[in-house]
Amino acid sequence: MKKIVILVSGRGSNMEAMLAARAAGQLPVEIAAVISNRPDAKGLETAANAGIATRSLDHKAYASREDFDHALAACIDEFSPDLVVLAGFMRILTPDFVRHYEGRLLNIHPSLLPSFPGLHTHQRALDEGVRIHGCTVHFVTAELDHGPVVIQAAVPVLDSDDESTLAARVLRQEHSIYPQAVRWFAEGRLRLEGGKVRLAAELVADCALIAPQLAG
């Protein structure tokens, strides 16, 4: 069974979605550890309560981004994961860190990339007046919120939306597509090859089938 390490900075609802998928027998992975750069992250407490090993490395205790990323990689590698899952991990990563985990580092971002990288994606989508918004799971590159796309989910933007209603609609989809992407990786059906995402052939049809479920 593939081993994963999950990195969180806060609430940890995407991590919880993975724990739930695993408990339901839908995510064949060993969650080896949950690591945070914030000692007070709620996600750490949730993981510990679920009996998962947790570690916290306070980024403020390190003199430079390089020093922190070096310590973080050492902490992650103690668990020898096949895949590192960024789940609301609010740090810009150094190119060396990203290179070290090339092809085994996933992130989720709350927009349809390449639109709206960075912060405040839902408010920016509202300000731009887009009619379709969503979320993206991608392999990580050294560029912020950028990289080969694994799966995306789209939601409508309603005239009645404010930032919180739109965020909630997108978050429901995050909790569906992120465990799905990790499941594909765990089953050996997803990989990065020459900078491009490769999904086992039959999954292309599965992806198309996800779309009708996304209207809500």
Residue 81 binds ligand GRF, judged by CB under 6 A: no
Nearer to ligand GRF, 41 or 201 (CB): 41
The two three-digit tokens of residue 33, written as one number:
């550890």
- Written as one letter, the residue type at 94 is T
Give the per-residue contact string, 7-46, with ligand GRF (x = CB under 6 A; - = no): -x-xxxxx----------------------------x---
The two three-digit tokens of residue 116, written as one number:
């709206």
Nearer to ligand GRF, 78 or 163 (CB): 163
C-alpha span between 107 and 105 (Å, rounded) = 7
The two three-digit tokens of residue 58, written as one number:
């306070």
Query: Residues touching ligand GRF: how many (CB under 6 A)?
Result: 15
Stretch that binds ligand GRF, among 31-39, 56-64, 107-115, 204-212 (CB under 6 A): 107-115
Binding residues for ligand GRF restricted to 143-172, rule: CB under 6 A: 171
Give Cβ neighbours of residue 201 (< 8 Å, ≥ 6 apart): none
Residue 110 binds ligand GRF, judged by CB under 6 A: yes
C-alpha span between 63 and 61 (Å, rounded) = 7
Residue positions annotated with a catalytic role: 109
Nearer to ligand GRF, 118 or 188 (CB): 118
Q: Outline where DSSP puts E strands in the chain.
A: 2-8, 29-36, 54-56, 83-86, 105-109, 132-139, 149-156, 190-193, 196-199
Beta bridge partners of 88: none
Nearer to ligand GRF, 11 or 100 (CB): 11
Give min distance, CB of 32 to ligand GRF, in A: 18
The two three-digit tokens of residue 208, written as one number:
């198309």
The two three-digit tokens of residue 213, written as one number:
């479920």
Query: Binding residues for ligand GRF, per CB under 6 A?
Result: 8, 10-14, 43, 87-88, 108-110, 135, 171, 174
